[in-house]
Amino acid sequence: MKAFRLWTRASVLAASVIVVMPYAQAQEDVTQLKQQVEELDQKIRVIQRLQEIDKEAAATKAKETPSLIFGNSGIGLRSGDGANELRLRGLLQADSRWYGDSQVGSTADTFLLRRVRPTFEGKFAKIYGFRITPDFAGSATSVVDAYVDGNFTDPFKVRVGRFKPPFGLERLQSGANLSFNERAFPTNLAPNRDNGVQIFGDLFAGTTEYQVGVFNGAIDNTVAITDNNNGKDIVARLFAHPFKNSDLDSLKGLGIGVAYGNGTQRGSSAAGNSSLPTFVTPGQQTFASYATGAFANGDRERISPQFYYYVGAFGVLGEYVVSKQDVALGAATQEVENDAWQVLLSWVVSGGDASFRGVTPKNSFDWAAGTWGAVEVVARYSELNIDDQAFTAGLLSLTSSASKAKDTGVGVNWYLNRNVKLQLNYDETTFEGGAAAGADRIDEKVLFTRVQLAY
Amino acid sequence: MMFKKILIAASVAAVLGAVPARGDVTLLNVSYDPTRELYQEFNAAFAKHWAEKSKEKVEIRQSHGGSGKQARSVIDGLEADVVTLALANDINAIAERAKLLPIDWQKRLPHNSTPYTSTIVFLVRKGNPKRIGDWADLARTGVSVITPNPKTSGGAQWNYLAAWEYGKRRYGDEAKTKDFVARLYRNVPVLDSGARGSTTTFVERGVGDVFISWENEAFLAIKELGPGKFEIVVPSLSILAEPPVAVVDKVASKKGTRKVAEAYLQYLYSEEGQEIAARNFYRPTDPKVAAKYASQFPVINLFTIDEAFGGWKNAHKAHFADGGTFDQIYQK
């Protein structure tokens, strides 16, 4: 009996061992497998996270890597942080002028390159900028603009070199953004380019721009390369956009201001040193010039109230310029006061909004897509009056110089895209005097065309 | 001539009479990683306060990243009106290298220009499966630790120094301390550049067993990112983290924002500013507000950087400068 019990217990123990041992082993295996899976899962997560961090680092590095600029505003290079930039831009205008039966003297219908101007510009350390623009359109290459800017703060910037003095409104408008092929009469009385130094900036939260500069002193409508006297011109301009930050959307595009210039200009009676301007028509024909022997001999003063207003497709630009200059002929010196004004209307018939900086078409001309770019019609009236006393004093002769010129112009501009523009203008100018025996010079009627590429 | 005079007079009058629309003031606050939520709430409160006080609309833009990285950006030209960084040493670098503010900037505001403090705690997964209890557990084999890179993150430097001081007090000599910290960092599989990146690694990507975290970041993770998924473990010893603030004088003067920038930082010390800090789990320095929120913050044995390391300059030179102890122990 005892042996039987022992045998039974031994059998149960053996059976238990046989059953439990594999179960415990299996449990241990499962736990180990679970641990391995968790470890593998962690390794995968770590690898994935490291990849994410690498991607973030690569994205950050990409922001710091210089980038290539290639777009509507030229081509160039920009540092990753945007602080340094070099850019090449260009302006090409291929024109034609057709005078019809209004040809005077050597005037001839012509095709011409009006502007061929590559521009190199850039900035360094965010603050310092430069621009160099030569022009290859004339018989000789010239440097149109060459200046260095220090853009220290919005209200205080400095420009040194050759550039447009802050005076004529239409003169300050870029040549690529003109509504007509040629600027109106007020530009005849404003300086073109000059060498000097200018302080400028924006005040009152960007609602008012100002410029004050000292320049060699350019003769009306000319470029001053060097000065022939010690008298320097001071030119200042204040131009406000009073509603720019207001809620009056319809008035945000209003700009109004005044420019003033004062200096000394002296020439001599020697041929080619008169330091006096000539006056040209929209067709770029001289219709008035000072008598041989007359020369600038003292103070020059200019003033120009000016404004523009752009709302939606509609725009109007107006300016008035008075230019006074002491002029000598023989022993007598006479103050000559000439003035000019213009009103220019523009209406973008389709595809864009009007602005002082030109029209940006909402879409590009694409025959297949049925999009047509932007079309603008323009009209202007402009006058230039030469001081009657200058004729009385013999500084000009009514037989060769008109005392007054009135221009009426109309045109249509087709912006094929942001870079290509086609222009068709017609200008008709009438004169008082300027022909034999003081008769009126023959009216000038000119049809202009232009193909423009600007980038 | 009358026509001309009228035209000119009208133009001058129009120009001089141009009503300058009152421009909005914009401030840029360059801050460290985990302060996003704090300053979102504070900026709104300050803008309201400033509009009522001065009738001027102020917009505050925020920039966040690793504290060291942010300081370098300011030195390199990022135009911050104010900096609210993790370390005084990062602002010292801006003062010394870029000279954008005076060397003694820290004396200009109360509490060494530190309107709120924080400390370093551990965030572990629910149930604390690796049974993390103190710094020593972070150096155990098989424990995966998440902490950012001390070379780029201010928070990571606080973490490192807290671990170092613990090691020094527990193991005594420097060699053993260094070995302890080295073993801890061998357990770090991912070094993010900032504290927020490490939060992402631990909380969102599920990497690691323990995250050495700013106290406020740990609370925020539990509150917003993973309720019921994480626990906070308070170590036996931690560091009193004092993230300072300063106006960047030269930038603020240039931009004409100095007055509002100073008011912005002073408002951090106001009752409302302190309440906002406390609500975002930063320890307020104002005794009244601190007492109100006392139950929110665990009682921790804290030491200061001055007590343990003789100030930030010494700590940085010994541990984080090129060739310092971190470079010696961490070989990637």
**Nearest CB neighbour to A238, from listed B15, B21, B77:** B15
Which positions in chain B have a beta carbon within 8 angstroms of at least one beta carbon in chain A?
4, 7-8, 10-12, 14-15, 17-23, 76-77, 144, 189-190, 192-193, 197, 201, 205-208, 254-255
Q: Does A204 touch chain B (CB under 8 A)?
A: yes
Alpha-carbon distances of A209 from A131, B82, B114, rounded to whole Å: 21, 29, 42
Q: Across-strand partners of A88? A: A75, A120
Q: Is the per-residue pLDDT at A4 higher than 90?
A: no
CA distances from A272 to A226, A231, B283 (A): 15, 19, 83
Residues ≥6 apart with Cβ < 8 Å to B42? B267, B268, B273, B276, B277
* Whole-structure pTM value: 0.64
Check whether A353 has a pLDDT greater than 60. yes
B-chain residues near A53 (CB < 8 A): 190, 192-193, 197
Nearest to B190 among A46, A242, A320 (CB): A46
pLDDT the model gives residue A79: 87
Inspect the interface and report whether the beta carbons of B201 and A303 lie closer than 8 Å. Answer: no
Query: A58: pLDDT confidence band, cut at 50, 70 and 90?
Result: confident
Using alpha carbons, select from B173, B176, B162 the residue that is nearest to residue B309: B162
Q: Which of B17, B21, B201 lies closest to A205 in CB terms?
A: B21
Q: Is the pLDDT of residue A143 over 90?
A: yes
User: Please, which contacts does B45-48 make with residues 24 or more away whose CB atoms are closer than 8 Å?
Assistant: B45/B267, B45/B272, B45/B273, B45/B276, B46/B263, B46/B264, B46/B267, B46/B273
Which residues are CB-neighbours of A18 under 8 A, at least 6 positions away?
A: none
Write down the pLDDT at residue A14.
66
A439 CB within 8 Å of a chain B CB: no
Q: Cα–Cα–Cα angle for A216, A220, A225, nearest 5°?
A: 35
The per-residue pLDDT for A16 is 63
CA distance A451 to A92: 8
Longest dimension (CA), chain A: 163
Distance CA A145, CA B24 (A): 36
Whole-number pLDDT of residue A3:
59
Give SS3 for B216. helix
User: Tokens 């060291």 belong to which residue?
Assistant: B68
Of A83, A153, A208, the CB nearest to B77: A83
Total residues found in chain B within this entry: 332
Chain A residues inside the 8 Å CB shell of B23:
204-206, 245
A100-130: per-residue pLDDT in tens? 888 777 678 999 999 999 999 999 988 999 9
Q: What pLDDT score was predicted for residue A13?
A: 62
Judge whether A146 and A191 are in contact, CB under 8 Å: no
CB-CB under 8 Å, A322 with B207: no
Chain B residues in contact with A42 (beta carbon < 8 A):
144, 189, 207-208
In DSSP terms, which residues pair with A379 in a beta bridge?
A: A345, A410
Chain B CA closest to residue A340: B4
CB contact under 8 A, B11 and A256: yes
- Is residue A414 a contact partner of residue A309, using CB atoms and an 8 Å limit? no
Average pLDDT of chain A? Answer: 92
Q: Which residue of A has its CA nearest to B7?
A: A305
Q: At what angle do helices B67-75 and B154-171 cross, to 10 degrees?
A: 130
Of A52, A240, A322, the CB nearest to B14: A240
Q: Which phi and psi (to 5°) does residue A406 adopt?
A: -125, 130
pLDDT (0 to 100) of residue A6: 60
User: What chain B residue is nearest to A245 in terms of C-alpha separation?
Assistant: B21
Cβ-based contacts of B10 with chain A (< 8 Å) = 305
**pLDDT for residue A226:** 83
Compute mean pLDDT per 10 residues along chain B, 332 residues long, and list them.
45 43 77 92 96 91 90 91 93 94 94 95 94 96 94 89 96 93 95 88 93 91 79 94 94 92 96 96 95 93 93 92 92 58
Distance between CA A79 and CA A89 in Å, rounded? Answer: 18
- Residue in A207, A256, A322 closest to B21 by CB: A207
Percent of chain A topping pLDDT 90: 72
Q: What is the pLDDT of residue A57?
A: 83
For residue B235, the distance in angstroms to the closest alpha carbon of chain A comes to: 25
Q: Cβ–Cβ of A42/B144 closer than 8 Å?
A: yes
Residue A81 near chain B (CB below 8 Å): yes
Q: Is the pLDDT of residue A140 over 70?
A: yes
Handedness of CA A27, A32, A36, A41 (dihedral sign): positive
CB–CB of A65/A58 below 8 Å?
no
Calpha distance A330→B270 (Å, rounded): 81
Q: What is the pLDDT of residue B257?
A: 93
Which residues, including other chains, have CB under 8 Å from residue B284's CB and lie 6 or more apart?
A: B116, B274, B275, B277, B278, B290, B293
Beta-carbon contacts of residue B1 (< 8 Å; ≥ 6 apart): none
Contact residues on chain A for B208, CB-CB shorter than 8 A: 42
Which of B4, B12, B23 is closest, CB to CB, to A205? B23
Q: How far apart are the first and last CA of chain A?
A: 115
Residue A186 has pLDDT above 60, yes or no: yes
Task: Provide the phi-psi class of A285: left if phi over 0, else alpha when psi is between -120 and 50, else beta.
Answer: beta
Q: What integer is the mean pLDDT of A244-257?
A: 92
State whether residue B154 is helix, strand or coil.
helix
Number of Cβ within 10 Å of residue A246's Cβ equals 13
Report yes or no: A339 and A286 within 8 Å, Cβ to Cβ: no
Segments of A204-294 assigned E as strands: 208-215, 233-240, 254-266, 278-280, 286-289
Q: Answer for the pair A305, A320: CB distance below 8 angstroms, yes or no.
A: yes
Q: What is the pLDDT of residue B9?
A: 47
CB contact under 8 Å between A53 and B17, yes or no, is no
Q: Which two three-digit tokens encode residue A112?
A: 């011409």
Segment among A1-15, A23-37, A65-79, A423-437 with least mean pLDDT: A1-15
Contacts of A37-44 with C-beta under 8 Å, sequence gap 24+, read A42/B144, A42/B189, A42/B207, A42/B208
The span from the CA of B58 to the CA of B42, in Å, is 13
Distance (Å, whole) CA B213 – CA B199? 8
pLDDT in tens, A281-301: 999 999 999 999 999 999 999
User: What is the DSSP annotation of A374-417?
Assistant: EEEEEEEEEEEE--HHHHHTTSS-TTTSEEEEEEEEEEEEEE-S
Is the Cβ pair B189, A46 closer than 8 Å?
yes
Q: What is the CA angle A199-B252-A64, rounded to 5?
A: 85
> Where does B175-258 show beta strands of DSSP type E?
210-214, 230-233, 238-239, 245-247
Contact A46 B22 (CB under 8 A): no
